[in-house]
Structure 1
Amino acid sequence: MEASVQAEKGQLSIHTDNIFPIIKKFLYSDHEIFLRELVSNAVDATQKLKKLASFGEFSDELGELKVTVKVDETAKTITISDRGIGMTADEIKKYINQIAFSGAAEFVEKYKEKEDTRGNIIGNFGLGFYSSFMVAKEVEIITKSYKEGSEAARWVCDGSTEFTIEAADKTDRGTDIILHIAEDSEEFLQKYRLSDILEKYGKFLPVEIEFDEKIINNPNPIWTKQPSELKDEDYLAFYKELHPMSEDPLFWIHLNVDYPFNLTGVLYFPKLKNDFSAKREKIQLYSRQVFITDEVKDVVPDFLTLLHGIIDSPDIPLNVSRSYLQSDSNVKKISGYITRKVADKLADIFRNDRESYEKKFDDIGLFVKYGMISDDKFSEKAKEYCLVKNIEGKHFTFDEYTAKIKENQTDKDEKVVWLYASDVQKQDAYIQSAQKRGYDVLVFDSVIDPHFINGIEYKLEKTSIKRVDADTLDKLIEKEIKLESVLSKDDEEKTKKLFEETLGGAPKLTISVEPMPTDELPIVITIPEFIRRMNDMAATSGQKSMFGDMPTMLNVAINANHPVTQKILKAGEDEQKQLIRHAYNLALLAQGMLSGSELTAFVQQAAARL
């Protein structure tokens, strides 16, 4: 039987008298962390007892195992209680008085041959208990070891290097940590404040946590289970637990790996609805079911930070306060693994249920396209199942679409041109013109598409991607459309000169006279492709266009075969100018470039002609 506890006083075994100010000011960035650390310690003590029972080293009844948090606003105390392994007086001296000695680390080392205990034990650095002095002017420990014949002990410290240890009146095993809250930390005596902290850090701790007579956590979240144990309803229910107000996700990925690192979790693909600005702090990082952070950019590739869910890994390196990540080779391996799992999941859905994949691609496409322009390894896999959609709503892989275009080419080695619209309504006239000539038009109207087009064009062999209104159609597809001009060369030069003189005050224009079908507009205005792309990318990046509201360069193609052109040549000087300006404004309107007072004046002039 262990000797009776003798009252004594002593000095904490540390190398500086200033350790507590250091802990209070520098070790933890947020004082609320104290509750996470103390509750985690209590969970550890409980998990250790369960392990000992499984090893046959504890044969008594386990009874109800839960951690209880209580607050007494009158006494100004917070008490964290468990029915775990407890401590003897000697163990208090070893684990509490020797600052930074981790009992968790020692336990894992002692029983490492039994089985893998690491995944169940939270503590690591041995400093968590001392976070209590960030909010408490005095801390009591009343504890009784699970060991037969042990006496209860009481340890008290006021935040200095002195402590008191003596016998205590406690009959049940386990530990009570009693914090006497300091005046500057009395906010933590409010129940709603403690409830918020417990909800944040302890929502999925592996032992039941009771606060205010309610169990506040889910000890067995789905990521701790095998995928074979779960149904779709389980994943959807868990998603609602994480995001109660959200629509059901598109699908999910269950992460479960134990070599070369331990990693579990569930990642959900939400319905983004083309909202690339969606909040990105929806993936939470846990370590052994303890919340660490929702800043996961080092663990999850940037293009996947739009996903929702949870990642849990004991192998992700944390700083000493367990508040943020420390980058190392494991982090890169984990990031690569997550990328590979996402790529494989998307490929699997595409191959096995293409119809469903296509229906979801408006949402999935944001992830896929973003990944292709930001991650080369992902891009190599994703080009097999990244889809493009045409005006009719049909989907194609890159290879399928290239083959479709080549069907209409006599020279199969000729360069392929993908025509696309970024705004189907505004570019309708140009789309109709292309379709009348037998050309297909894709739709690239998501917020990521301007960057995506630039990113993939150089990866596609012998392929050029151009917007349907970026130039006249014969130039876009880089081959002659055999149309003859009804104008003589002299009339073409005269027409060009009339337009240059009349539109001289407009932005910089490149004016040409070209033979086009008579059902085209009398004037076709286009923006050079490279300028339009830079403007589009600037807009999606939240930047002001480098060319302001109106581009400084416009291509103005005059339809030599249109009756209006011939009418202009035959008209008097004043009527010529009126017709030219009217046709020019009509072309601006078709491009969505006519607004404000100019639009009002155009409408009034058109009304006057009725």
Structure 2
Amino acid sequence: MNKKGKISVTTENIFPIIRQWLYSSQDIFLREIVSNGVDAITKRQHLSNLGQVDEFDNPRIDIVLDKNNQTLTVSDNGIGMTAEEVDKYINEIAYSGLVDFVEKYQNEGDPQSQIIGHFGLGFYSAFMVADKVEIQTKSCFADQPAVHWQSEEGIEFEMTPGQRDKAGTDIIMHLTEEAAKQYTEFELRAVLRKYCQFMQYPIYFNVLTTKGETEETADKAEKGESETEKAVDKAEEAETEQETEKPINNPDPLWNKQPARIEKQEYIDFYYEVFPDGKEPLFWVHLNLDYPFRVKGILYFPKLDLQYERLEGRIKVFYNQVYVADNIPEIIPEFLFLLRGCIDCPDLPLNVSRSFLQDDQYVRKLSSHIVKKVSDRLAEVYRKESEQYKEWWQYLQLFVKYGMMSDRNFSERVQDIALLKDVSGEYTSLKDITEGNVYYTPGENELSAYTAMAQQQGKTVYILDQEIDLQWMSYIEFNSQGKIKFVRVDAEAETEQSSEKTEDIAQEQKTLLAEILQALGADQYEVKYQASGTDSLPLLIRESEEFRRMNDLLEQVKRSGDEQMLESMKEMLERDENKPSLIVNTDQPLLERLEHLDQDQALDLINYFLKLAKLGQDSLKGTEFIEFLELSAKYAFESTERDNN
């Protein structure tokens, strides 16, 4: 059976392509090799169920890192290969054994349902980290001899009789110097956790440190004289006390179980298994669909402050329990990345590396279905646990608002459960606000003076303190076709602009105030006179809602670092000159008091009330705030002296 030859390559220089383009990450080599082992076991189990091969127990995959020899071995006790199959599936790149297997057994059960591989290129990903690769394999069909295959750099190969005496395959990778340094025990554990955490059969990881020693040992699997079996034998001979071995993966993830049979604590425990951050999720949605496409998974609504969280790695996409990628926007709309969880889609249209999706009608339908299930779950929680939902709103609002702006269908579904919280702690559904001004404060303890005035006028003041609220308000206004208008409590609403009262104000008083403001360097205001009530401040600062929003948006752009957008917005604001209004409260005796003061006293008084107005607007900062404190102390002492006299 000795044979030598050249591997049939259909594309020139295919290995540089495999190394640099086909696989988006070098770590994927381990996923591909282990996935091949999973496929091999699945095929053998199917043949066993058909009675074509003997039954076998204890399906497993063993991975051994030999530090001394710089090898990494992946062993399975699956279907194995004959010499003819090695020649066909290994020596001809991209010839997948799945095609032959399915064609041969397509009328006998459904062997394809849990088989991962499609393209036959996965094995050659081993050359991303190895300069030499060996295969020791034996077919599970009786009377088939074992085969040994080896190749350096994947160009020339050599096939000879093998050493295995039981069915299965060993892939022995002789690591390059660079790979041997990179793939330490801890790095390999991390890669296995990422890519193989939920593969369908138990995976055991062992490390050979010195001859006869292992950091972990494994009982013998049903395989021949493989590298892994030798490692286990040596460990037993050393009689080193070891803990009972445990697989490094979970072959039966929770999403495979029927939701009705799962307890609440099981969902929470599974969340911690995938996302060990110690923060319990609020609730979750369990996806379990077989038609018109197969999809399973669990999406969690986390209790997180997402303004300070990264979105990478939040939703993990699997293909028959094999990790594909995080946050694939073709399947999962971007706003769902604010959730956490796992989705397993066996029908995904993948390219040869399983790393990127092809955009097609199936994927779009799948995406729409996931969005619908998420919105339905939100509505269910709101309907059944209304008070709890309101408590959770502080964690849910960013997701709901972002989703409304991102997906029109989602927006229509959650319109009834999008909430607004007012300063009194009461909640109002967005559906109950149909028209008119909606007054808000950017923080529960901000703009307190203006909030109090609005409440005295019978207005409800809502709290909109999220970074996203600036865009969300504009979205709601646009969709209402102008019927709804959000107005910050310190903004100059259109109804207030027409309430100016100047007929009772003497021209001398107006002139005096203008001169004082000019002397204070505060002539940037447009002075207006309004009766604001005896409980309101003598001076109030207001500006148009539109202009202030533009300034707030400018600050967001500054934080984002988008220089091009920043310059564009600055030019726009410079063109649209807009003076803030200084409202003189005619219900306060300020103007009359000025007539009885000398120039310095008048300057100090207006300066004090101007700073008091800025304080009420939360815009008094730095040296102005210090000056305000000094003036406050001065007036306090003067008041005390008058009382004593």
Specify if TM > 0.5: yes
Offset of residue 37 of structure 1: 0.9
1:170-569 mapped onto 2 (5 Å cutoff): 170-187=164-181, 190-212=184-206, 213=217, 214-273=246-305, 275=307, 277-402=309-434, 416-460=436-480, 462-471=483-492, 475=493, 489-491=504-506, 493-504=507-518, 505-506=521-522, 508-541=524-557, 542-543=559-560, 553-569=579-595
| Distance in 2 of aligned mates of 1:439 and 1:25 | 63
Q: Write the letter of the residue equivalent to 1:469.
A: D
Alpha-carbon spacing, 1:383–1:326, altered in 2? closer, same or farther (3 Å): same
Tell me the SS of whatever aligns to 2:412.
Answer: helix
Tell me which moved more, 93-102 or 416-425.
Answer: 416-425
Tell me the SS of whatever aligns to 1:364.
Answer: helix
Q: What is the aligned partner in structure 2 of residue 96 from structure 1?
A: 90
Unaligned 5+ segments in structure 2 are: 207-216, 218-245, 638-645
State whether residues 507 and 554 of structure 1, in contact with CA within 8 Å, keep that contact through their aligned partners in structure 2. Answer: no
Q: Write the letter of the residue equivalent to 2:49.
A: S
Tell me the SS of whatever aligns to 1:465.
Answer: strand
| Distance in 2 of aligned mates of 1:274 and 1:87 | 50
| Distance in 1 of aligned mates of 2:369 and 2:199 | 25
1:77 and 2:93 equivalent?
no
State whether residues 274 and 362 of structure 1, in contact with CA within 8 Å, keep that contact through their aligned partners in structure 2. Answer: no
Alpha-carbon spacing, 1:444–1:507, altered in 2? closer, same or farther (3 Å): farther
Tell me which moved more, 245-254 or 437-446.
Answer: 437-446
State whether residues 282 and 306 of structure 1, in contact with CA within 8 Å, keep that contact through their aligned partners in structure 2. Answer: yes
1:52 and 2:55 equivalent?
no
Aligned-residue Cα RMSD (Å) equals 2.5
Deviations 1:179-235 (A, max 9, x none): 122333222563222222211111111111010234110000111222223121111
Q: What is the aligned partner in structure 1 of residue 631 from structure 2?
A: 605
Tell me the SS of whatever aligns to 2:113.
Answer: helix
Offset of residue 535 of structure 1: 2.6
Tell me which moved more, 507-516 or 352-361.
Answer: 507-516
State whether residues 17 and 161 of structure 1, in contact with CA within 8 Å, keep that contact through their aligned partners in structure 2. Answer: no
| Distance in 2 of aligned mates of 1:543 and 1:587 | 31
1:585 and 2:606 equivalent?
no
Tell me the SS of whatever aligns to 1:175.
Answer: strand
Offset of residue 319 of structure 1: 3.0
1:153 and 2:168 equivalent?
no
Alpha-carbon spacing, 1:243–1:26, altered in 2? closer, same or farther (3 Å): closer
Relative to the length of structure 1, the TM-score reads 0.90
| Distance in 1 of aligned mates of 2:607 and 2:178 | 74
Relative to the length of structure 2, the TM-score reads 0.85
Alpha-carbon spacing, 1:175–1:534, altered in 2? closer, same or farther (3 Å): same
| Distance in 2 of aligned mates of 1:345 and 1:8 | 61
| Distance in 2 of aligned mates of 1:347 and 1:74 | 59
Alpha-carbon spacing, 1:503–1:147, altered in 2? closer, same or farther (3 Å): same
State whether residues 469 and 527 of structure 1, in contact with CA within 8 Å, keep that contact through their aligned partners in structure 2. Answer: yes
Equivalent in 93, 98, 117 of residue 111 of structure 2: 117
State whether residues 514 and 523 of structure 2, in contact with CA within 8 Å, keep that contact through their aligned partners in structure 1. Answer: no
Deviations 1:280-314 (A, max 9, x none): 43111111111121142332112111111111213
Alpha-carbon spacing, 1:480–1:552, altered in 2? closer, same or farther (3 Å): closer
Tell me which moved more, 271-280 or 92-101.
Answer: 271-280
| Distance in 1 of aligned mates of 2:257 and 2:624 | 65
Alpha-carbon spacing, 1:182–1:425, altered in 2? closer, same or farther (3 Å): closer
State whether residues 200 and 252 of structure 2, in contact with CA within 8 Å, keep that contact through their aligned partners in structure 1. Answer: yes
Deviations 1:326-371 (A, max 9, x none): 3333332222111111111111111222122111111111111111
Q: Write the letter of the residue equivalent to 1:463.
A: I
Offset of residue 237 of structure 1: 0.5
Tell me the SS of whatever aligns to 1:119.
Answer: coil
1:14-25 mapped onto 2 (5 Å cutoff): 14-16=9-11, 18-25=13-20
Unaligned 5+ segments in structure 1 are: 1-5, 403-414
| Distance in 2 of aligned mates of 1:488 and 1:320 | 80
| Distance in 2 of aligned mates of 1:589 and 1:9 | 87
Tell me the SS of whatever aligns to 1:458.
Answer: helix
Q: How many residues align?
A: 585
Q: Write the letter of the residue equivalent to 1:107.
A: F
Deviations 1:67-93 (A, max 9, x none): 001121222221111110001111111
Offset of residue 490 of structure 1: 4.7
Alpha-carbon spacing, 1:187–1:329, altered in 2? closer, same or farther (3 Å): farther
Deviations 1:410-456 (A, max 9, x none): xxxxx522111112322111111122222221111122211111110
| Distance in 2 of aligned mates of 1:65 and 1:291 | 20
| Distance in 2 of aligned mates of 1:17 and 1:233 | 54
| Distance in 1 of aligned mates of 2:56 and 2:465 | 61
1:144 and 2:138 equivalent?
yes
Q: Write the letter of the residue equivalent to 1:97.
A: N
State whether residues 276 and 447 of structure 1, in contact with CA within 8 Å, keep that contact through their aligned partners in structure 2. Answer: no
Offset of residue 274 of structure 1: 6.2
Tell me the SS of whatever aligns to 1:118.
Answer: coil
Tell me the SS of whatever aligns to 2:371.
Answer: helix
| Distance in 1 of aligned mates of 2:116 and 2:359 | 20
| Distance in 2 of aligned mates of 1:479 and 1:439 | 18
Alpha-carbon spacing, 1:298–1:147, altered in 2? closer, same or farther (3 Å): same
Alpha-carbon spacing, 1:510–1:234, altered in 2? closer, same or farther (3 Å): same
Identity among equivalent positions (%) equals 39
